[in-house]
Amino acid sequence: MVDCRNLLGIFIRNKYRLNRSVLSLIQTEGSIEKRGTTMKYYLQHGLWLGWALFIFIPISPVGATEIPEVEALFQESLQSDDFEKNKSNLEKIIDLAPDSAYGHFSKGWFWAQEENYPMAVEEYQIALQIRPQFGEARNNLASAYFHLGNWSESVREYEEVLRQYPEWSETHLNLGSAYYMAGRPFASVQAWEKALDLNPEIFIAHYYLGLIFDKLGRKAEARLHYKQFLAADKDKEEFSDYIEHASQRQTDLWVEQAHDQT
């Protein structure tokens, strides 16, 4: 049986989507990552395997204004597919406005690339002191806490993000992973189901739900979600491990259910 701890998680690191999504099959303890192709995926914290496509909704500055050039660089990074250019944009932001909310966000992102999550936490916290409604910074803060194993702090910050931006489907996905690691499986189910309600394209949520229902002994529901995950349009090479596991468990559960009925 695949260790759920290593299959549930966050996706932050090289892909913090400036807003809330991520892609990368990098597995760290308690997390899954999948490198994305746009800065949206690279910058977020998001925590999820975000391949969901949705329109980014710019946040409204609260309590702080940015230099126009800095604002332009930040917004450009949200829309661009060029990772190196976007990385360069963040470096420029640090040079131009190191003490701004975007400057501290950018420094936090680079610390996260180095897996120095304590320093990333400090930078994101400063960004939030400057701009309390900076959802991307709070999302990344929650992810940094997740990587540090601070599940309760991760849950708290994800919940706060969703109080401000309840439509962020990937944050619901990430919150579900934090709930799971905090020992709250039923809250995980609710969060992952909400993510799917908001964005049916987040097919990894079906895999997660299959895992947790499997763990809870709810075989019919586990089979259903494994089936929906397997039916989703995805990169078979990148998701080969997930596909293999879901296929095997779907077969095993079918046999177990048949045996239970005899």
SS3 track for 179-240: HHHCCCHHHHHHHHHHHHHHCCCCCHHHHHHHHHHHHCCCHHHHHHHHHHHHHCCCCCCCCH
Is 63 inside any structural domain?
yes
Residue type, 179: Y
Do residues 234 and 177 both lie within one domain?
A: no
Task: At 16, give phi and psi (nearest 5°).
Answer: -50, 110
The mean pLDDT of the chain is 78
Mean pLDDT of 202-223: 95
3-state SS assignment for residue 27: strand
Task: Look at residue 115 and tell me whether its pLDDT is greater than 80.
Answer: yes
Task: Look at residue 71 and tell me whether its pLDDT is greater than 70.
Answer: yes
Using a pLDDT cut of 90, give the percent of the chain over it.
Answer: 61
Domain end: 126, 153, 182, which one? 182
Using a pLDDT cut of 70, give the percent of the chain over it.
Answer: 75
Is 156 inside any structural domain?
yes
Which pair of tokens denotes residue 41? 């995926």
Pairing status of strand 26-28 against strand 31-33: antiparallel
More confident residue, 191 or 12: 191
Contact predicate 69/96, CB 8 Å: yes
Do residues 243 and 177 both lie within one domain?
A: no
Do residues 211 and 105 both lie within one domain?
A: no
Residue ranges of the alpha helices (H) in the chain?
Answer: 4-7, 39-43, 68-79, 83-96, 101-113, 117-130, 135-147, 151-164, 169-181, 185-198, 204-215, 219-231, 240-260
Do residues 154 and 260 both lie within one domain?
A: no
Res 43: pLDDT: 31
Q: What is the total count of domains within the chain? A: 2
Is 188 inside any structural domain?
no
Do residues 163 and 208 both lie within one domain?
A: no
Res 64: pLDDT: 56
Is 194 inside any structural domain?
no
CATH of the domain at 53: 1.25.40.10
Mean pLDDT of 189-211: 96
Mean pLDDT of 182-210: 96
Do residues 246 and 171 both lie within one domain?
A: no
Is 128 inside any structural domain?
yes
Res 6: pLDDT: 35
Do residues 83 and 148 both lie within one domain?
A: yes
More confident residue, 135 or 86: 135
Mean pLDDT of 126-132: 95
Which pair of tokens denotes residue 125? 């916290």
Do residues 78 and 139 both lie within one domain?
A: yes
Do residues 157 and 44 both lie within one domain?
A: yes
Which pair of tokens denotes residue 176? 């579900």
Please state the pTM of the whole predicted model.
0.75
Task: Look at residue 162 and tell me whether its pLDDT is greater than 60.
Answer: yes
Is 197 inside any structural domain?
no
3-state SS assignment for residue 149: coil
Domain end: 147, 182, 217, which one? 182
Domain ranges, residue 162: 4-182
Res 234: pLDDT: 87
Res 14: pLDDT: 28
More confident residue, 48 or 189: 189
Do residues 107 and 235 both lie within one domain?
A: no
Res 244: pLDDT: 94
Do residues 220 and 92 both lie within one domain?
A: no
Q: Of 143, 213, 201, 133, which is closest to residue 169 (Cα–Cα)?
A: 201
Q: Sorting pLDDT into bands at 50, 70 and 90, what band is 256?
A: confident
Do residues 164 and 217 both lie within one domain?
A: no
More confident residue, 14 or 239: 239
Count of residues making up the chain? 262
More confident residue, 231 or 75: 231
Task: Look at residue 171 and tell me whether its pLDDT is greater than 70.
Answer: yes
18: DSSP letter: S
